[in-house]
Structure 1
Amino acid sequence: MGDWRVPGYSELRVLGEGAQGRVVLARHDGTGRPAAIKYLAARFANDAEFRERFRGEADLLRRLHHPFVARMYGLVETPAGAAIVMEAVDGASLKAVLAESGPLAPEAALAVLKGSLLGLAAAHDLGIVHRDYKPANVIVRGDGCSKLIDFGVAVEAGEAGRSGTPVYMAPEQWRGEPASPATDVYAATCVFFECVTGRRPYTAEDQAGLMGRHLTAPIPVADVPEPLRPLIHRGLAKSAWDRPLGAAAFVTELESAAAGAYGPDWESRGVRALAGATAALALLFPLSALGFGSGGAGAGGAGAAGTAGAAGGSGGAGAGTAGTATAGKGVLGALGAKGAAAVAGGVVVAAAAGGAAVYVADAKEKPKPKPIVAALSALNEPRKDIGGGVTLQARGQVVTVTGGKPALVRKIDQALRSPLEQRWATTVKGLAGGAGRGAYTDVVKPTILLRNDRLLSVWYTVSLQGERGTGWDHSPAVTVDLRTGAALRPFDLFRVPTEQGIAPLDSKIKAHLPHGTYCWSDMGSGAGPFQPHGTDNPSAFVKSGDVSMALAPAGLRVAFYGAVLGYASACGEEDATVPYAEVKDMIKPNLLAAVPYPRPSHS
């Protein structure tokens, strides 16, 4: 099993090797064209989870077409192994360039950062976060242009985890929080800092110390030239909310800073400088060393083999265009004449003797409908004049989706925004009623609680900035049915959607609050702690909108202000998650079946 190779290719040299597999440079036997082949490690060949991850990476690369990202030609699977056939980029890693040349000129550092950001932006447009941007994953060609590689740990925006390379990981990655495009912005800024200074922004003797530096250490802006300091300050902000919202937004800031500091021709000078820094490594370029061509070859040449060549076609496909594989040629032909090929959803699928499956992008076919993908989008509501000198605006982020049918996407986006619209309407009414003075800004920070092919739950943390009292920051929330685009209000989650029907929830909420009570105070009147009293019936305030509910991975999340139940305003907002095991007889069966809880036998 460990000796399995993609049929029709001869391995030339190993380009890289890691715990999950290896990447080799190979030559197609029929055409002589080069390709990079990423093999799943043999020990994972029978691991269903690793196979699925590998397919996920291939699916992402199949959808990602951009000049600054190495292209995918095909996915090959057999019972003995799996491999992704990709564009072979002739050049040296940015890691090798920095090791050879030391710090880069500012223009060169800006040029490589811009190229990488454009590649990352293409991924962000698909709702994907790379999570492992680092110098080793950027290949610089002999002409100074670069390509982004290795999406092995990429995830959809909003997924949590600590995958990545520690020295470039954003604070939210260290904390295991959801990744967003701003996570990649942080890593790219770390690399940019390294390109300019020759060292990483944060170092430590051990991983715990490194984590502490990324989480709390001051941003080392003084170590870079003054014109670049705003970029470093923004890109390395500890909070993702204080960074550019994505790579595309950061490119805009970069271009403005670069042109202002280094003139309108900064990019051409930067690319030339980068090419010069790479020239010293030309003998190490994998394709040039084997006689395929120069490191500055354009797309379709040796440095970036055309898709038809890598897939074994006749070579008629142009740069960036996928050529259709034909019988007797390339990967499909190498599987033998007994293989049966069919076109399905924009991918040529070939089933061959022995259980092999090959997927090769076919530009002539319509692509599959894109899956619905959730991501964070900028929120910048214009300031509204309420009257009497009182104004209100909203900023921050909101969750939106892409993919699927346009009408459904619009409906889902409206549903995701609906709890905020309701909040703003209530806020305007309250401020206009005499409670407001001056300018107010509602700052919104969303968290994706639950996401699968059926449901999307979002929790909004809000903060009304301005002259105000307490009780204005109740957290809106929503669960959306992705099949219909409908927003599921709290009552919509229950079998019996009435105040009486959900009344049993009151005691369950109380049991999962701190100290098992709706409001606790340790400030007594001299006789020790005391516990104030209220109505203890949040179910009575669901209809009025004073209680937020959403489906979360661990259970039903509920939040409301203690003052709603008659407690002192100092009690603040109560927030609890009731496990599904305790509410399984209350939640609608079809919803319970769509959350991470075993389907009850009676449903």
Structure 2
Amino acid sequence: MESSFGQYEVLQQVAVGSTGTVYRVRHTDLDRIAAVKELSPALRQAPGLLARMRTEAEILATLDSPNIVTIYDYVEEADRVWIAEEWVDGASLEAILKQAGSMTPEQSVGVIRGAMLGLAHAHEHGVVHRDVSPTNILADTGGTSMLVDFGLAAPIGASDALGTPAYLSPEAASSSPVSTSSDVYSAAAVLFALLAGHPPFTGSDVATLLRQHREDTAPTLDGHGADLQDLLARSLAKDPSVRPVDAAAFLAELETAAERRFGAGWLARASITGLVASAIAASATGVAAVGGGAAATTIIDTAAAVSNPVTATTAGSHAATAATKVATSSGRKFLGLGRAQGVAAAVAAAVVVAGVVFAGSAIADQRRENKVKEQAAAALAKAKAIEDKKEAAEKAFADAAPDGAWSLKSTIVTTKFSGEKAGDTSTVTWTFASDCAALTCAGSITSSSGNTFGYTWDGAALQIASKTESAEEKCIAYATGEEIPGSSVHAEFVNTYSPWTSSTSATPPTELAGTSTLVKTFSDYVNCDKTKPIKRTTNYELTKK
């Protein structure tokens, strides 16, 4: 066993696998605990592997989030290659589930929320993770969940078919360019698995899983409310444009759905510190930031996965032979091997699917580089088009909302109020002040009569907020119609409004119509008889000035 890596003193060998070794170490000058991941000697010879290890180091160096592991050092020496990263005392989501069996719905959403905070930061910097899975979500002893193992991460638009098959996006399953919405699909698949107890698709082999991700409609999530059901249905759509555009958009909808489903303060009930502690106690050691080890990774030709399916029982035996084949092949290489090994900690029970391409000449490499750039540009253009479409829809919605001055004509339909009769009309001016965000508008109305009202607009109907007022009044003698000396009564007025809609399809609308019901009730009688509630109904016609 190694005794040191530069200024890092080895404290413990955490895991050994065909891809490399993970150590728990201490920086002797800084007295800081870290994780060192050393690539195995055999895999160092694989074409392009060192370049991909450098890629992970470069990616992590650009990211700074409490929900993403921090990189300290990347070193290439004559006889070894290693990377030093943040050591996290915690457990992977996979290990937690293995120990606990399941989580509460609040815990399930909470742990995904933390990982999405990290993923949103990566997306903001133009990085797609490409392997969001239970193995690559880690929770520390404080219950903070984070995203780990950026060994498969790439700029938006990369197109190798990489990832954990049960959580692979349709784009990755077909070797098409991936985007931020591809990560959203994988994250939604993980959340579905937490809430339903199994992933959306459960094919018996890799080929079946790939086909299901490409072709089959994801099952409906039942028993967790309409909001979460709708969010996961859209996030697991085959068409990337139907999904939330990135992790930040997914997270915003997730938090809204969680509050509606679980109520205010749900996050405080989502703590998994106890589950993390149990998972750590069940293992011999803590878990490094890679999520716990260097298990074997299988690398499979896409075509071979279809013609010769790989099952869980055969996956392990393929790992060693695939690595040897890559290292010794002279005419071709398996793309994605470097990212699959990442930093010597591969995904347990995962299969990395990589397309086979011919390489070996500068011309071929240049053509491939140009193709990747074109695919990246196309993916960015598509993402921008989706965002532009969203912005255009939001602008059109805001433009259609009532705004400015309107003439309001009110006509009494029925009334029990003294001094009024059916058919009485009046006209005032209402001035709207709108505040629209996303696809919701709310604001205030100021009447020329001096009254103010709140309202909301959903694109089809104007909803005036109900209004309650109260007053202290004198009682009236029925016989004389005069006030009774020394009397008093508390009167409360409650005015409720129906949704106001337009009878035409004009956009924006120029007229709206609706009704209101005013009910006056009495209480706290002094020196007077009890009185029944009285009511008035009114029709309104609202016309744009």
Q: Please give the TM-score of this superposition, normalised by the length of structure 2.
A: 0.52
CA–CA distance in structure 1, aligned partners of residues 225 and 175 of structure 2: 33
User: CA offset at residue 104 of structure 1?
Assistant: 1.2
Specify the alignment match of 2:55 in structure 1: 56
User: CA offset at residue 27 of structure 1?
Assistant: 2.4
Alignment equivalent of 1:379, drawn from 368, 373, 388 = 388
CA–CA distance in structure 2, aligned partners of residues 155 and 244 of structure 1: 20
User: CA offset at residue 19 of structure 1?
Assistant: 4.5
Specify the alignment match of 1:26 in structure 2: 25
User: CA offset at residue 33 of structure 1?
Assistant: 2.6
TM alignment of 1:1-16, pairs within 5 A: 6-16=5-15
Q: Secondary structure at the match of 1:23?
A: strand
CA–CA distance in structure 2, aligned partners of residues 240 and 84 of structure 1: 34
User: CA offset at residue 210 of structure 1?
Assistant: 1.3
Q: Secondary structure at the match of 1:132?
A: coil
TM alignment of 1:231-250, pairs within 5 A: 231-250=231-250
User: CA offset at residue 51 of structure 1?
Assistant: 1.1
Specify the alignment match of 2:101 in structure 1: 102
Deviations 1:314-338 (A, max 9, x none): xxxxxxxxxxxxxxxxxxxxxxxxx
Identity of aligned residues (%): 35
User: CA offset at residue 147 of structure 1?
Assistant: 1.9
CA–CA distance in structure 2, aligned partners of residues 217 and 195 of structure 1: 20
Q: Secondary structure at the match of 1:281?
A: helix
Specify the alignment match of 1:454 in structure 2: none
CA–CA distance in structure 2, aligned partners of residues 11 and 275 of structure 1: 28
Deviations 1:49-68 (A, max 9, x none): 21111111101111110010
**Which 5+ residue runs of structure 2 have no aligned equivalent?**
289-372, 397-545
User: 1 or 2 for the larger relative contact order (CA 8 Å, sep ≥6)?
Assistant: 2
Contact 1:138 1:148 in 2 (8 A): yes
Specify the alignment match of 1:156 in structure 2: 155
TM alignment of 1:270-285, pairs within 5 A: 270=270, 272=271, 274-284=272-282
CA–CA distance in structure 1, aligned partners of residues 96 and 151 of structure 2: 23
CA–CA distance in structure 2, aligned partners of residues 144 and 86 of structure 1: 20
Call closer, same or farther: CA 1:269–1:10 in 2, change over 3 Å.
Answer: same
Deviations 1:60-87 (A, max 9, x none): 1111100100111111221222211100
CA–CA distance in structure 1, aligned partners of residues 169 and 69 of structure 2: 24
CA–CA distance in structure 2, aligned partners of residues 106 and 118 of structure 1: 19
Specify the alignment match of 1:174 in structure 2: 173
Specify the alignment match of 2:124 in structure 1: 125
Does residue 251 (structure 1) correspond to residue 251 (structure 2)? The answer is yes
**How many pairs does the alignment contain?**
303
Specify the alignment match of 1:40 in structure 2: 39
CA–CA distance in structure 2, aligned partners of residues 289 and 72 of structure 1: 16
User: CA offset at residue 136 of structure 1?
Assistant: 1.0
Specify the alignment match of 2:361 in structure 1: none
Contact 1:13 1:24 in 2 (8 A): yes
User: CA offset at residue 31 of structure 1?
Assistant: 4.8
CA–CA distance in structure 2, aligned partners of residues 384 and 90 of structure 1: 44
Q: Which amino acid aligns with 1:137?
A: N
Larger Rg: 2
Q: Secondary structure at the match of 2:65?
A: coil
Deviations 1:459-509 (A, max 9, x none): xxxxxxxxxxxxxxxxxxxxxxxxxxxxxxxxxxxxxxxxxxxxxxxxxxx
CA–CA distance in structure 2, aligned partners of residues 193 and 289 of structure 1: 25
Deviations 1:409-463 (A, max 9, x none): xxxxxxxxxxxxxxxxxxxxxxxxxxxxxxxxxxxxxxxxxxxxxxxxxxxxxxx
Specify the alignment match of 2:502 in structure 1: none
Does residue 91 (structure 1) correspond to residue 90 (structure 2)? The answer is yes
CA–CA distance in structure 2, aligned partners of residues 383 and 282 of structure 1: 49
TM alignment of 1:86-485, pairs within 5 A: 86-227=85-226, 228-270=228-270, 272=271, 274-284=272-282, 375=380, 376-377=383-384, 378-380=387-389, 382=392
Specify the alignment match of 1:341 in structure 2: none
CA–CA distance in structure 2, aligned partners of residues 61 and 145 of structure 1: 19
Contact 2:91 2:287 in 1 (8 A): no
Q: Secondary structure at the match of 1:173?
A: helix
Give the root-mean-square deviation of aligned CA atoms: 2.9
CA–CA distance in structure 2, aligned partners of residues 186 and 155 of structure 1: 16
